[in-house]
Amino acid sequence: MNRKRALIADTFCLTKRRRCAADSVTGDSQADGAADIRSSLKYLVTLFSRKLFNDSLPPVVLKHQLYSLHNDKTAVDKQVNELRENGELLMFQLGFDSEAFALVFAEDYRAKVLQGEAGRGTLGTVEKFLAKLIPSCSDLSFNKEKMLKEFLFTDSEITQLVKSGVLTVRDAGSWWLSIPNSGKFIKYFIKGRKAVLGMVKKSKYGEILKTELEGRRTTSQVKFQMKYHIHDIIGAELVECIQTTSGTLLRHVDGNVN
Amino acid sequence: MLSFLYARQSGLDDPVRLRRAESTRRVLSLKLNHNRDVDRIHGNGINTLDIEVIDGRYMLSGGSDGVIVIYDLENNSKKPQYTCKAICTVGRSSRHVHKFSVETVQWYPHDTGMFVSSSFDKTMKVWDTETLKPAEEFQFDGNVYCHHMSPVARRHSLVAALLCSVLAVGTKDPKVQLCDLKSGSRIHILQGHRGEILSVRWSPRYDHILATASTDSRVRIWDVRRASGSLFTLDQHNGDKSKVSSEAVNTAHNGRVNGLCFTADGLHLLSTGTDDRMRLWNSGTGENTLVNYGKVVNESRKGLKFTVSRGCSPEFVFVPCGSSVAVYGLHSGELITMLRGHYNNVDCCEFHPDYQELYSGGKDCNILAWVPVLRQPGIEDDETNSKRGGTQAAINPAFEDAWSSDED
């Protein structure tokens, strides 16, 4: 790597060096120092398109989208876990990638689920489940003994929960926690991610400036906002992020070439 | 730097602090140096490198052609331009050379009179450095992917060799074979893994603790004094069984685990896997410290040999990633820099703790030396010296002025 300024350890650096000019040019704000995850989550929530699902889904953010906003991945993980311990945030295993986790604010989740259940017979069971889940539990999946002994649900109640979409089958006798009506979300998300990656790949030299990609017209495959997908592909390291004098450059990462 | 020296001199600071700060600064300025070169002997890729612990002077390398070479790393010529010469080789013409690729070589930890090499020809040979003949040869049934001798052992001299078995032959399980160098026999077998074992390491802190990594996604820690199975298996979710699908419970990685490295104090263990992740574990409790290094590209089908720096203040991990070497901060998880220079995949790297240099070898048959570059010598001074015919005194640029001329 051609570095005009040498790497320097913290002990020798009494004044912070100024960051690369590119960031101030594009106006991106990188929170350094103590990162506030909650405000980043709120920002990502605004990028989520509610109308697409007729307001039946709570706003879903993926955990690796936070990595594109903050530098220190370990600190991000730690703060997300703190929020989950406090009961403000719920994490879900989406199923298409073992490393992709979805984050939803607990109040949003509760509101949407109850809204979806209004008028159905399963409402009572779902309320009981949410009351048990939200304050204290931070598991992603539940198995049979837990449901029967700790939460005191009967088999028929478990079936009702699966029917309502709050639980999804994981294997015999255990279930994932899930978001009702999230199938459509996952389908659009995967298609949109593939389309955006295709756009980066097809560009000349396989690379494109981030600002230019944000300005491109989206195809019908891409249902979410472009920025939502861009945070996703940067955070999941599906593209390489390079700082240049004209801004951030996204380069397509081929699996074999490095 | 001057403030550190003054603080040490006046007793404000521990002497260790200056050493650590300077080591860290040197590691951060690692670069390819055109003055330092390593002889190119291997005709095929280089699989393994080892620098001896006593002097840090001799380096062993083992290649895919079965050849083993010993290099002298010390610069005794008075010039800065230096090629590390190969002192002796066990080449293809030697009667005792390995028939297939040499996977691991290691110096005997207490002196350079002996080294051990293991290879895909199912043998592990203990060589006498003086005569370059094997003093001992251990025959196995399966390919030996890796072996390791404990660097701190005084009470025993066991070499742990790993076998993968070809599962089509009989019902043999993949096992770790412990061989005793003093008696030349096999002591016992550690069983428990269900897939080929790609890497093994003794702990540098205790001479009875051993860690093994295998293709069944598990890393096991063993105490060789016990008769029962492994002490514990490393679990990436720290026992939180709810996070994964039920097949992946209790695994260290979501793919094959192909590299292991203890930190210098033995308190932490690093493992890399083909799920493109690297994890840092507390070696005493087996807990995942959840340091997130991001995507560490790893496509190696065999073991990957990576290394950790020693003596620096934030320690660094050097991992071969494709055709470059990635440098990560050990506890912070951030990517410091990528060292690019190889033409093909890098397979192994080794850190020289005394000079803070990194040697890396790969499929392009080159061993590259990454040397700390701190201060560039002034080009002006060299030119004026040669013009005056080699005068030793060079004018300090601080005392030069813009109006007087040199001819007066």
pLDDT, one tens digit per residue, over B73-90 is 888 888 888 888 899 999
At residue A28, the pLDDT reads 37
- Pick from B292, B331, B335 the residue to mutate for testing the A interface (most A CBs within 10 Å): B292
At residue B360, the pLDDT reads 93
Q: Which residue of A has its CA nearest to B20?
A: A11
Residue B404 in any domain: the answer is no
Measured in angstroms, the CA of A27 and the nearest CA of chain B are apart by 24
Cα separation, B344 vs B362, in Å, equals 7
Q: Which residue of A has its CA nearest to B246?
A: A171
B70: pLDDT strictly greater than 90: yes
Using a CB-CB distance cutoff of 8 angstroms, which residues of chain B are in contact with residue A76?
292
A142: pLDDT strictly greater than 80: no
Q: How far is CA B19 from CA B101, B132, B376, in A?
A: 40, 38, 21
Q: Which residue of B has its CA nearest to A92?
A: B243
At residue B161, the pLDDT reads 59
Using a CB-CB distance cutoff of 8 angstroms, which residues of chain A are in contact with residue B321?
258
B369: pLDDT strictly greater than 70: yes
| Nearest residue, CB atoms, B29 vs list A7, A11, A78 | A7
* Rounded average pLDDT over B213-239: 84
At residue B278, the pLDDT reads 92
Report the percentage of chain B scoring pLDDT > 90: 24
Q: How many domains does chain B divide into?
A: 1
Q: Which two tokens mark B22?
A: 């300077």
* Rounded average pLDDT over A48-63: 86
Half-sphere exposure (CA, 13 Å, Cβ side) for B299? 10
At residue A16, the pLDDT reads 42
Cα separation, A44 vs A62, in Å, equals 9
| A72 at B interface, C-beta within 8 A | yes
* Cβ contact A139–B292 (<8 Å): no
B359: pLDDT strictly greater than 90: yes
Q: Which long-range contacts (CB under 8 A, 24 or more apart) does B147-151 make?
A: B147/B104, B147/B106, B147/B116, B147/B118, B147/B200, B148/B104, B148/B106, B148/B200, B148/B201, B148/B202, B149/B106, B149/B108, B149/B109, B149/B116, B149/B181, B149/B202, B150/B109, B150/B202, B150/B203, B150/B207, B151/B53, B151/B109, B151/B202, B151/B204
At residue B408, the pLDDT reads 52
Residue B400 in any domain: the answer is no
Residue B3 in any domain: the answer is no
* Rounded average pLDDT over B60-81: 89
At residue A245, the pLDDT reads 92
* Rounded average pLDDT over B296-314: 86
Residue B339 in any domain: the answer is yes
* Rounded average pLDDT over B293-301: 85
* Cβ contact A8–B254 (<8 Å): no
* A10/B201: higher pLDDT: B201
| Nearest residue, CB atoms, A139 vs list B242, B254, B293 | B242
| A13 at B interface, C-beta within 8 A | no
* Rounded average pLDDT over A192-211: 91
CB atoms near residue B150 (< 10 Å): 23
Using a CB-CB distance cutoff of 8 angstroms, which residues of chain A are in contact with residue B337?
1, 3, 7
* Cβ contact B242–A256 (<8 Å): no
Half-sphere exposure (CA, 13 Å, Cβ side) for B40? 10
Using a CB-CB distance cutoff of 8 angstroms, which residues of chain A are in contact with residue B243?
93, 140-141
At residue A255, the pLDDT reads 58
* B171/A38: higher pLDDT: A38
Using a CB-CB distance cutoff of 8 angstroms, which residues of chain B are in contact with residue A74?
290-292, 332-333
**DSSP structural state of residue A236:** T
* Cβ contact A73–B294 (<8 Å): yes
Q: Output the pTM of the full model.
A: 0.82
Using a CB-CB distance cutoff of 8 angstroms, which residues of chain B are in contact with residue A71?
334
* Cβ contact A72–B333 (<8 Å): yes
* Rounded average pLDDT over B245-256: 78
At residue B162, the pLDDT reads 56
B48 band by pLDDT with thresholds 50, 70 and 90:
very high
Return the minimum-mean-pLDDT range out of A138-142, B64-68, B143-147.
A138-142
> Range of B230's domain?
25-372
* Rounded average pLDDT over B11-38: 88
B 12-31 residues with CB < 8 A to A: 21, 24-25, 28-29
Residue B10 in any domain: the answer is no
* Cβ contact B254–A98 (<8 Å): yes
B138 band by pLDDT with thresholds 50, 70 and 90:
confident
A8 band by pLDDT with thresholds 50, 70 and 90:
low
* Rounded average pLDDT over A60-70: 90
B 129-188 residues with CB < 8 A to A: none
CA B287 to chain centre: 24
At residue A127, the pLDDT reads 85
| A93 at B interface, C-beta within 8 A | yes
Residue B14 in any domain: the answer is no
| A74 at B interface, C-beta within 8 A | yes
At residue B397, the pLDDT reads 65
Q: How far is CA B42 from CA A73, A176, B345, in A?
A: 40, 53, 15
Report the percentage of chain B scoring pLDDT > 70: 86
Average pLDDT, chain A: 80
Q: Which residue of A has its CA nearest to B338?
A: A1
* Rounded average pLDDT over B163-182: 56
* Cβ contact A6–B29 (<8 Å): yes
Measured in angstroms, the CA of B400 and the nearest CA of chain A are apart by 27
Q: Which residue of B has its CA nearest to A5?
A: B29
Q: Which two tokens mark B174?
A: 């993949």
| A118 at B interface, C-beta within 8 A | no
A·B CB contacts under 8 A:
74
For residue A159, count CB atoms less than 10 angstroms from its CB and return exposed for 0-12, middle for 13-18, buried for 19 or more. Answer: middle
At residue B62, the pLDDT reads 93
* Cβ contact A258–B324 (<8 Å): yes
Residue B19 in any domain: the answer is no
* Cβ contact B242–A140 (<8 Å): yes
Residue B390 in any domain: the answer is no
Strands A247-252 and B346-352 come out as unpaired
Report the percentage of chain A scoring pLDDT > 70: 85
- Nearest Cα residue to B166 out of B130, B194, B196, B123: B196
Q: Which residue of A has its CA nearest to B323?
A: A258
| Nearest residue, CB atoms, B246 vs list A67, A71, A174 | A174
* Cβ contact B24–A11 (<8 Å): yes
Return the minimum-mean-pLDDT range out of B16-20, B217-221, B260-264, B402-406.
B402-406
* Cβ contact A256–B1 (<8 Å): no
The domains found in chain A, sorted by start residue, are 37-181 (no CATH), 183-252 (1.10.10)
* B248/A130: higher pLDDT: A130
Q: Which residue of A has its CA nearest to B294?
A: A73
At residue A5, the pLDDT reads 62
The CATH number covering residue B306 comes to 2.130.10.10
Q: Where are the alpha helices (DSSP H) in A16-154?
A: 21-26, 37-47, 63-67, 73-86, 106-117, 123-136, 144-145
B166: pLDDT strictly greater than 60: no
B325 band by pLDDT with thresholds 50, 70 and 90:
very high
| B255 at A interface, C-beta within 8 A | no
